Amino acid sequence: FPTRRSSDLIEYDNLFNYRQGMAEEREQIVQLLIENPDYKAKDIARELDYGLSKTQYRMKVLQEEGRIQYRREGMTGYWEVLK
């Protein structure tokens, strides 16, 4: 049998920490939207010092999870936190 090296094994701890970090980032976004429902993705990115695409992706995930929803009012709108 071939010998396994430690580099051949998947490091699940790192994967778990990565996913936990993403969940924490989404929670930070939710908190900002509770406090500032009129914020846009660029406002959140600036406030949390995240990249814009990272922020947009996290917000998309939150929408797909049913946690946030954008409500339009004429030419503007606001974010509603659902859960």
Query: What SS3 string covers the chain?
Result: CCCCCHHHCCCHHHHHHHHHHHHHHHHHHHHHHHHCCCCCHHHHHHHHCCCHHHHHHHHHHHHHCCCEEEEEECCEEEEEECC
pLDDT at res. 2: 57
Judge whether residue 17 has pLDDT over 70.
Answer: no
Mind listing the pLDDT tens digit for each residue in 31-64?
999 999 999 999 999 999 999 999 999 999 999 9
Share of the chain above pLDDT 70, in %: 75
